[in-house]
């Protein structure tokens, strides 16, 4: 048996009870080294199998091998395992293997960061990853443009890294051809982890911030505003009647 588990943004109190119970039931916890360290202290009796970034396929194959040997395995992802996580790849590789795979959801970055920044996802929104390792940049640009055309709030995952430091700036420049530079925006770094920081800004300001892979970005739509330092997207309630 393989459980593909989303462990939320990082703190133990934001791991769902279902995810905790699944990890308790497992013999082995497998995952990216950084994510494994987030739960290691909670499971001192478990065997851990860890690997670095870009070793996703190898982690899944290790989980399959361990499961085939009779072990119950937890393959963990931060946030939700089905949102830019390990669930899809694990299900694909497990096809015809005879091993059962169950996906356990978690709190994804869009939700955890939105709560920190205020209530920016109160109406329709999209999530877009700026990682062009597996998605061509031209397609990412089309998705950003389509999100602007539809006036969606945009939550950006994987905004920048050492290997692609300019992707976030390029995305902001594209967005500002459709959105005002005064559009409310914000970022959260290390959501739910030690050293968590966040800032509420505008689209024109956030382009100049130091943004990395530990950040999640939320950019508002035409109905988004800032009040008391919080980002809110108006949903249509008649506030005057409350």
Model confidence over 58-73: pLDDT tens digits? 999 999 999 999 999 9
Checking if the pLDDT of 167 tops 60, the result is yes
Checking if the pLDDT of 241 tops 60, the result is no
**Mean predicted confidence (pLDDT) in 160-175:** 92
What's the confidence (pLDDT) of residue 238?
Answer: 64
Final residue in a domain of this structure, among 60, 81, 104? 104
Q: Which domain holds residue 16?
A: 2-104
Model confidence over 37-57: pLDDT tens digits? 999 999 999 999 998 877 899
Asked if residue 92 and residue 122 are part of one domain, the reply reads no
Asked if residue 35 and residue 117 are part of one domain, the reply reads no
Query: E strands of 59-196, at which residues?
Result: 73-77, 101-104, 118-119, 125-129, 153-157, 184-189
Asked if residue 186 and residue 210 are part of one domain, the reply reads yes
In a domain, 239, yes or no: no
Checking if the pLDDT of 237 tops 80, the result is no
Asked if residue 130 and residue 97 are part of one domain, the reply reads no
- Residue 148: both structure tokens together: 């602007």
Checking if the pLDDT of 189 tops 70, the result is yes
What's the confidence (pLDDT) of residue 240?
Answer: 53
Model confidence over 100-118: pLDDT tens digits? 999 999 999 999 999 999 9
Q: Name the average pLDDT for the chain.
A: 94
Model confidence over 196-217: pLDDT tens digits? 999 999 999 999 999 999 999 9
Q: Tell me if 103 sits within 8 A of 82, measured CB to CB.
A: yes
Q: How far apart are the C-alpha atoms of 242 and 95, rounded to whole Å?
A: 53
Asked if residue 149 and residue 95 are part of one domain, the reply reads no
Checking if the pLDDT of 145 tops 60, the result is yes
Percent of the residues in the chain that have a pLDDT greater than 90, as a whole number: 88
Asked if residue 174 and residue 97 are part of one domain, the reply reads no
Checking if the pLDDT of 242 tops 80, the result is no
In a domain, 238, yes or no: no
218: which strand partners?
155, 186
**Mean predicted confidence (pLDDT) in 93-104:** 95
Asked if residue 154 and residue 74 are part of one domain, the reply reads no
**Mean predicted confidence (pLDDT) in 150-178:** 94
Strand order in the sheet with 73-77: 47-51, 28-32, 73-77, 2-6, 101-104
pLDDT bracket for residue 141 (50, 70, 90): very high
Closest CA to 160 of 180, 140, 139: 140
Asked if residue 193 and residue 119 are part of one domain, the reply reads yes
**Mean predicted confidence (pLDDT) in 15-31:** 97
Asked if residue 79 and residue 131 are part of one domain, the reply reads no
Q: Which residues contact 205 (CB under 8 A, 6 or more apart)?
A: 185
CATH code for the domain in which residue 218 is found: 3.30.950.10
Number of domains in the chain: 2
Asked if residue 222 and residue 151 are part of one domain, the reply reads yes
What's the confidence (pLDDT) of residue 152?
Answer: 98
In a domain, 240, yes or no: no
Final residue in a domain of this structure, among 79, 104, 129? 104
What's the confidence (pLDDT) of residue 159?
Answer: 95
């Amino acid at each position: 048996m393989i459980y593909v588990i989303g462990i939320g943004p990082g703190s133990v109190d934001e791991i769902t009870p279902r995810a905790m119970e699944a990890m308790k039931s497992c013999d082995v916890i497998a995952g990216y080294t950084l994510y494994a360290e987030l739960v290691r202290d909670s499971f001192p009796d478990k065997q851990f199998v860890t690997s670095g970034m870009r070793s996703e396929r190898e982690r899944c194959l290790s989980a399959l091998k361990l499961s085939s040997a009779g072990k119950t395995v937890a393959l963990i992802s931060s946030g939700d395992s089905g949102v830019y996580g390990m669930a899809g790849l694990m299900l694909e590789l497990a096809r015809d293997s005879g091993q059962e795979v169950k996906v356990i959801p978690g709190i994804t970055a869009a939700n955890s960061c939105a709560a920190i920044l205020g209530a920016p996802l109160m109406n329709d929104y999209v999530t877009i990853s700026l990682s062009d390792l597996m998605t061509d940049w031209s397609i990412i640009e089309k998705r950003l443009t389509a999100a602007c055309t539809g006036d969606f709030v945009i939550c950006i995952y994987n905004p920048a890294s050492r290997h692609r430091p300019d992707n976030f700036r390029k995305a902001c420049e594209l967005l500002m051809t459709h959105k005002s530079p005064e559009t409310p925006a914000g970022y959260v770094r290390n959501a739910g982890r030690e050293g968590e920081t966040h800032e509420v800004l505008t689209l024109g300001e956030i382009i100049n911030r130091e943004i990395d892979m530990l950040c999640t970005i939320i950019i508002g739509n035409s109905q988004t505003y800032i009040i008391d330092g919080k980002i809110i997207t108006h949903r249509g309630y008649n506030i005057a009647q409350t």
